[in-house]
Structure 1
Amino acid sequence: MPHHLLTNFTSYITGQQLFDRTQRILLAVSGGVDSVVMAHLFKQAGFAVGIAHCNFQLRGEESQRDEQFVQQLATSLNLPLYNTRFDTEAYTTQHNVSIQVAARELRYQWLEEVRSREGYSYIATAHHMQDSVETALMNFCKGTGIAGLHGILPKQDRIIRPLLFAEKDILVAYAALHQIAFVEDSSNITDKYTRNFFRHNIIPQMQEMFPAAVRNMDGTIFRMREAEMLYQESVARHRKRLLVKKDNSWMIPVLKLKLTVPLQTIAWELLKDFGCSVAQTQQVLQLLDSESGRYVETATHRIIRNRNWLLITPEARQDAPLYVIDQSPAHVAYGNAHLQLRLQERGLATIPTAPAVAWLDAAKVSFPLILRRWKQGDYFYPLGMPKKKKVSRFLIDQKLSLPQKENVWVLESGKRIIWVVGMRIDDRFKITTATQQVLCIETK
């Protein structure tokens, strides 16, 4: 009933732990009945609030009327007012988005700026029970996971929705009971927008068959929220069991994933954070029975079958530029590492061996040196081998994964590879008993 609205309002805020009385709340007020009633309820409850209004300049004189109305409302309630005007149509052109998306992005960006600048704890919007039900129904029709069925959440980050407990009719009745003035938005009348079509056509027909449809669906939405909590707990356990972090990549054991139940759902939850679409999830699951080396490219990552693992790596970077080294000593930063060169006398000491250090006969090396990523067709004479070998074949023999292969660099002198960096020098440039001066090159 409308005369219990204030009591139910404060009880809902307390029950949902939306905020406490020490915190200031910024109210997003359009001038419509929902947001105006919300402003009156906050004022009557004695909370510390301010009013924020956006003029999207999309409805000509009507937009100006709404702005003036909210200014008068703030004055009558003795509340601070923050307002702004947007060139919404220019934003849609610049960012290639719809009017609805543009308005939403502009609104929330500005509201957060005001909240942060003026010291408010949260932004309150006037979404009510019907809004939440409409959202869940639209998501259900478009196709969604369990998260799309929880409707509009009471609290998300810095946004709170303190009217989700209330049906639209109650808000309208409350405004009439207390003679609260508000303005009508003509864009809410048309069925041009998807939400309005559900609001004016779908839900009323459902209520003809089931008068309590909205409240019943709201109860279902509440249960879906709780079910989602259990669902996410289970997903978190599977994620911990299956996802292994390695450097800037992730690995999933193929056999463990194949034995996971339910496979489709868990795979989707694991892969969606790596830019994987629903259709691509099916492609990834096909990798479970494919040979090593096959992969699926998502919007942000590459998922590769690598022996007994699925290897998930960030999208391959563009080829790095060539680095020209004119002389020694020198220090060159490349990729995520750096190269150091120095000359020293051969001496009598034994030269230590380590993959990260190349010891070369300086007399056989001519500057400038070229540091670059390897490419197909490259070959060299691996140390200890009398015959040349393609770098691609050498990397296969080293059992490198595809991302590791993509990150291999070579150093060349006079168009001949002298070192597959960090792995093997060329036999033609090795130190011999005749070597007098050594070129030491180290990668870190």
Structure 2
Amino acid sequence: MDLLKGFISYTKQEQLFTTDQQILLAVSGGVDSVVMAHLFKEAGFRFTIAHCNFQLRGEESERDAAFVTALADKLGVMLHTVRFDTAVYADSNRVSIQVAARELRYGWLENIRRQSGSAFIATAHHMQDNVETVLMNLCKGTGIAGLHGILPKQGHIIRPLLFTQKEQLLAYATEYSTGFAEDSSNITVKYTRNFFRHKVIPVMQEIYPAVTANIAGSIDRFREAEELYEEALQRHKKRLVEQKGNTIMIPVLKLQKTRPLHTVAWEIFKDYGCSSAQLPQVLELLNSGSGKLVETASHRIIRDRQWLLIIPVEVQDAAVIVIEKERTFVPVTNGQLKIREAERTPATVIPTSSNIACLDKQEIHYPLVLRKWRQGDYFYPLGMRKKKKLSRFFIDQKLSLPQKEKVWVLESGKRIVWIAGMRIDDRFRITDNTTRMLVLEWEEK
């Protein structure tokens, strides 16, 4: 296939850009990006060139920068350049040189894209790059998303050479004497990609000479299969996932009957910090009792009766908040407490809302203490003469584990006077002798 015709056909097939849009080409000076620049010129597309000097290969880096400068001049297009202290960046950010170069490169390219009014950034990834990516993903362990390899278009990044092989790019460079700057780091096998390129794929080619093209063909089918996969997955998520506030709720029985269970469960729970190693623990919750949980990097997955609840791990409030007499407002993570005094007269109407507590001011002693409830806590529920443990009270109220963890209690003289938003202690209730009230209002967020 004529490379230029294939190039133009591929950009149309994948709808990478329109002919009136300007494209920013990432050009290193290597054969792939140099040929890409020439193809853009021959096709009559609008483009500018961008080159990053990572200052990692001494004179080679300077040679590459000079070559790209001459190339831009030859093609008659604008050139954007930058020099990075890549080693310093990697050290200060505690990342590898490869990660540092990638972060610096794409961050800068995106800034130039915006400033120059370019529609997309074009990189010169070709068919072999794509095959190497898929093989590496398979070795690391991947879901179906890892099998689509490098996408032709992703956000503001396009890859217009994925249709062609390295040999075709080299042949083009030879035929048209484009010249290019060879990167000596491409030869070493200390980098994973180069190991696959120089050691793994050549062995595969001994048995299957067309292995690169064959895998590339499979990648195209994987991309289409992924579309079907995503459609089915969205139907499962719509059926299984409910959201109330910041809590995700999944019905246990429905999930148990779902097939394929592991695949659907993985696609749901991985979005909430669940690792592949934790997935079996999460699935064990389907057969456990209420209160069992798995904590991921960002969430807790809790079995609560007939539900699995997924709740973000929040920054905890102070264990104990001391409230002096002058204080009238106390904000916490999941709510706020308002405090005021009021006169009690025969005409006073006591609110019936559980979020408002009216206590006998004479029985209250400062400072008050607002804290989360603890195992062993007890109080005398309003209307009862016997004490009751809060844990038993919560069971009677049918509170879930997440609801229990949000409960605050207010103490006076080491005695619980109110379970915020729920029930006051009978010892502090309003009586016929009450003349002053302490009015508490709990607003839950």
Q: How does 1:336-347 map onto structure 2 within 5 Å?
A: 336-347=334-345
Q: 1:269-313: per-residue Cα shift (whole Å, max 9, x none)? A: 111101111111111111111111111111111111111111111
Q: Distance in 2 between matches of 1:119 and 1:323?
A: 54
**Aligned mate of 2:183, from 172, 178, 185:** 185
Residue matched to 1:418: 417
CA distance in 2, matches of 1:85, 1:407: 52
Q: Please show how residues 89-100 of structure 1 align to structure 2 within 5 Å.
A: 89-100=87-98
TM-score (norm 1): 0.96
- In the TM superposition, what is the alpha-carbon distance from 1:328 to its structure 2 partner? 6.1
Change (3 A) 1:116 1:373: farther
Q: CA RMSD in A?
A: 1.6
Q: Note the 1:278-289 alignment, pairs <5 A.
A: 278-289=276-287
Match of 1:399 in 2: 398
TM-score w.r.t. structure 2 length?
0.95
Q: Is the 8 A contact 2:334 2:406 kept in 1?
A: no
**How far 1:315 sits from its partner (Å)?**
1.5
For 1:207 and 1:366, how far apart are their aligned partners in 2? 84
Q: What is the match of residue 383 of structure 1? A: 382
Structure 1 residues 145-197: Cα deviation after superposition (integer angstroms, max 9, x where no partner): 11111111001111100000011100111111111011000010111111111
Question: Match of 1:279, SS?
Answer: coil
- 1:327–1:368 contact (8 Å) kept in structure 2: yes
Asked whether the equivalents of residues 328 and 343 of structure 1 are also in contact (C-alpha less than 8 Å), the reply is no
Aligned length: 442
Alpha-carbon contact 1:373-1:408 (below 8 Å) kept: yes
> What does residue 50 of structure 2 align with?
52
Q: Indicate if the aligned counterparts of 1:328 and 1:341 stay in contact, CA closer than 8 A.
A: no
Instruction: Give me the whole-angstrom Cα distance separating, in 1, the residues matched to 2:281 and 2:397.
Output: 28
User: How far off is 1:110 after superposition?
Assistant: 1.5
Q: Which residue of 1 aligns with 2:25?
A: 27
What pairs up with 1:200-239 in 2 under 5 angstroms?
Answer: 200-239=198-237
Q: Matched residue of 2:278: which SS? A: helix
Structure 1's 403 and 365: CA in aligned 2 closer, same or farther, altered over 3 A?
Answer: same
Query: What SS does the aligned partner of 2:45 have?
Result: coil
Aligned to 2:313: 315
Deviation at 1:400, TM superposition (A): 1.7
Q: What CA distance in whole angstroms lies between the structure 2 residues aligned with 1:194 and 1:25?
A: 30
Q: Which structure 1 residue ranges, 5 or more long, are not aligned?
A: none
CA distance in 1, matches of 2:278, 2:12: 43
Q: Residue 409 of structure 1 aligns with which residue?
A: 408
State the shift of 1:122 in Å: 1.0
Letter in 2 for 1:441: L
Which residue is equivalent to 2:113?
Answer: 115
* SS in structure 1 of the partner of residue 151 of structure 2: coil
CA offsets, 1:372-418, max 9 Å, x none? 22233433222122222333332233222222211111122222221
Mapped to 1, the partners of 2:395 and 2:72 lie a distance apart of: 71
After the TM superposition, list the runs of 4 or more consecutive aligned residues in structure 1 that deviate by more than 4 angstroms. Answer: none
Deviation at 1:349, TM superposition (A): 3.5
Q: Tell me by how many angstroms 1:340 deviates.
A: 1.9
**2:241 — aligned with what?**
243
Report the identity percentage.
63
- Cα offsets for 1:328-369 (capped at 9, x unmatched): 682332223222222222222331211111111112112332
Q: Tell me if structure 2 keeps the 8 A contact 1:319–1:373.
A: no
